[in-house]
Amino acid sequence: MLYSKLVQLYQQLESTPKRLQKTNYLAQFLSTLNDEDISHTMLLIQGRAFPQWDQRVIGLADKTLVKAIVLATGKTAEEIEQLWKTTGDLGNTAATTIATKKQATLFSEPLTTKKVFENLQKTATMEGEGTVDRKLQLIAELLTSAMPDEARYLVRTCLEDLRVGIGDGSLRDAIVWACFGQELSLQYSEQENDLALSDEQRTKYDAHVTAVQEAYDLTNDFAHIFKISKKGINELKNITLTTGKPCNVMLYPKAQNIPEAFETVGKPAAFENKYDGFRLQIHKNNKAVLLFTRRLEDVTQQFPEVVHRVNNFIQGNSFIIDAEAVGIDLATEKYLPFQNISQRIKRKYDIRATAEKSPVVVFAFDILFYNNESLINKPFSQRRQLLASIIRPQKNQVELAEQQIIEDEQTAEAFYKKALASGYEGVMIKKLNGIYKPGSRVGYGVKLKPIMETLDVAIVGAEWGEGKRSAWLSSFTIAVQNEKGELLEIGKVGTGIKEKDEEGISFNHFTELLKPHILRNEGKNVFVKPTVVIEVAYEEIQQSPTYSSGYALRFPRFVRIRDDKSLQTISTTTDVEKLYGEQRGRDS
Ligand code: ATP
């Protein structure tokens, strides 16, 4: 397929903020895809060259791209940087530069999506000496053949900043529209921006959306789901878990208290400690072990000791196990806050030394797949029984989550109190005959913890400090998301961040984290590409015209960086409204 066709889609998507209209553009585009183009084009639509769960990323630096534009256009780096200053966007800069370039491209071939994809993949997989130059050549080769609009999106893709405003939800719906549109008699009216479905049609439509979502939750692979959907809705039911490809983890809604928890999950229920670390999905296929975080990042290399333990202390040829990895101080046997081990997730070098310095213990709490069989539709009690039978627990290395089956409130209260007294975050309360529903918060289990709910927010801006803090970003603008995934500001936070690196997460640390993502400066204010998610506590939520969310946090305080959370899973305006309502209920 010609890359220009994909660029046309990008432009259409960018031209409208309306989700349904975007879905319509996507669906029309998908309907024109040839089978051989599906896999790579589906990734390019998402601005990727690799699936989310692949360790490889494109990740080219601004500077490299400036050099590639120089190579492709014959302009000087100064000219390009000057233009970049005025446009504020390297993609637009590339487009303008290509449009006015001196070098003729009469003989260059039109770009295809396949060529773009191949070159992007190659740049990401190159390692060793001379790599920077070779990467440059690959990108310059693409830019040389690119028309101005193509150059814009090429550069944005290289920067992993496509900004066409589509999320997983739109792609999922577009697959439904493209594959089942006729059968469901879907007709999108651009004027009304509506599908105008009757109740009966709506029910059928929702069932199709759910089927596609469920298949996606199992595989995280839209290309695969699209290919299967083209064969018919029933084919989707055959999609199952595979070791090596992470599935979305099941999430747990919050219960206010023990009676409410019992109401949701039934009696008796399984009570477990709530370990405070990060979620680890453990895959094994023969000797090959893979470890994924909740965001589906592959962290196998970062945790060699866990791989070793999985091979030695858990039986089975193939399995997928759900677990929590918790930092531990082996001298005192005390569990450590997530912050102490979070740096291990990103670590690329000195892995052994870091592993020794920041050990983790793994608590296994569920099993989804065993010896080539999916277990997600089996009751939790059976899954847990199997899990217990295949693990040979090793203290402070790999353990089974502590569990007690409880049916009366008094015993439940005692279990909860004991968990808190032992320093756990709270308890998880699970339905004994509940299935495992990837990606959902369905109530087959709930969490119960005492503290005031915190918010997970994205940092979207900051302010340079004053006086001795002048080299640091010191006050951070934070945002929650609305249902469309747009970020809306809710306040500024500086409290809770340390002056000195030795004391914990410092201003210096944040400055280093955010600097590469600064989009523009306005006086002392900077705007950053949202990449960092943090958890904040606060005293109260207030309504406020100051911030675009309509709310402000009173006395916000930084709690920790949430490396394990993606932008798509940060708190929503609905969460904020709910908390605001609950707080009013409490006050009155
Ligand atoms: P969310 O509700 O979005 O998951 P969150 O990450 O703040 O928000 P938590 O309050 O951390 O949610 O509670 C759920 C997490 O608790 C799980 O994702 C898992 O990582 C962790 N966890 C710890 N112990 C257990 C356990 N025994 N069973 C299941 N999950 C556990």
CA of 252 to the centre of ligand 1 (A): 7
Residue 352: predicted pLDDT: 86
Domain with CATH 1.10.3260.10 in the chain: 47-158
Domain 455-587 annotated CATH 2.40.50.140: yes
Q: Are strands 487-493 and 551-554 parallel, antiparallel or unpaired?
A: unpaired
The position carrying tokens 């409130």 is: 409
Burial of 314 (0-12, 13-18, 19+ CB in 10 A): buried
Domain 47-158 annotated CATH 3.30.70.360: no
C-alpha to C-alpha distance for 493 and 351, rounded to whole angstroms:
32
C-alpha to C-alpha distance for 569 and 485, rounded to whole angstroms:
9
427 lines ligand 1 (CB under 6 A): no
C-alpha to C-alpha distance for 138 and 125, rounded to whole angstroms:
12
Residue 360: predicted pLDDT: 96
The position carrying tokens 């049609």 is: 201
Residue 584: predicted pLDDT: 54
Query: Comparing C-alpha atoms, which of 489, 479, 454, 585 is closest to residue 532?
Result: 479
Residue 451: predicted pLDDT: 63
Residue 104: predicted pLDDT: 54
Atom index in ligand 1 nearest the CA of residue 449 equals 10
Q: How many residues does the chain have?
A: 588
Q: Which two tokens stand for residue 146?
A: 């690119």
252 lines ligand 1 (CB under 6 A): yes
CA of 442 to the centre of ligand 1 (A): 14
447 lines ligand 1 (CB under 6 A): yes
C-alpha to C-alpha distance for 336 and 329, rounded to whole angstroms:
7
Q: Which two tokens stand for residue 200?
A: 């009966």
C-alpha to C-alpha distance for 476 and 527, rounded to whole angstroms:
10
Residues paired with 319 in a beta bridge: 284, 370
**CB contact at 8 A, 222 and 380:** no
CATH class of 258-448: alpha beta
- pLDDT tens for the chain, 588 residues long, are 999 999 999 999 999 999 999 999 999 999 999 999 999 999 999 999 999 888 788 878 889 999 999 999 999 999 999 999 888 889 999 999 999 875 555 557 899 999 999 999 999 888 777 888 899 999 999 999 999 999 999 999 999 889 898 989 999 999 999 999 999 999 999 998 999 899 999 999 999 999 999 999 999 999 999 999 999 999 998 999 999 999 999 999 989 899 999 999 999 999 999 998 999 999 999 989 999 999 899 999 999 999 999 999 999 999 999 999 999 999 999 888 776 788 888 887 888 888 888 999 999 999 999 999 999 999 999 999 999 999 999 999 999 999 999 999 999 999 999 998 888 889 999 999 999 999 888 889 999 987 667 999 999 999 998 877 888 999 999 999 998 889 999 999 998 898 888 888 999 999 999 999 998 888 889 999 999 999 998 877 888 889 999 999 988 889 999 988 999 999 999 999 988 877 654 433
DSSP three-state, residue 312:
helix
Residue 87: predicted pLDDT: 87
Atom 17 of ligand 1, residue of closest alpha carbon: 279
DSSP three-state, residue 405:
strand
CA of 380 to the centre of ligand 1 (A): 17
401 lines ligand 1 (CB under 6 A): yes
C-alpha to C-alpha distance for 211 and 44, rounded to whole angstroms:
24
End-to-end, the C-alpha distance of the chain in Å comes to 62
Catalytic residues: 274
CA of 451 to the centre of ligand 1 (A): 14
295 lines ligand 1 (CB under 6 A): no
Residue 588: predicted pLDDT: 32
Q: Which two tokens stand for residue 206?
A: 């929702």
C-alpha to C-alpha distance for 408 and 394, rounded to whole angstroms:
31
Residue 380: predicted pLDDT: 98
Alpha-carbon Rg for the chain in angstroms: 25
Atom 20 of ligand 1, residue of closest alpha carbon: 279
Query: Comparing C-alpha atoms, which of 448, 451, 455 is closest to residue 541?
Result: 455
**CB contact at 8 A, 488 and 549:** yes
Count of CB atoms within 10 A of residue 287's CB?
8
DSSP 8-state code for residue 468: G
CA of 293 to the centre of ligand 1 (A): 12
Atom 25 of ligand 1, residue of closest alpha carbon: 274
Domain with CATH 3.30.470.30 in the chain: 258-448
C-alpha to C-alpha distance for 567 and 52, rounded to whole angstroms:
13
C-alpha to C-alpha distance for 413 and 448, rounded to whole angstroms:
11
**CB contact at 8 A, 432 and 379:** yes
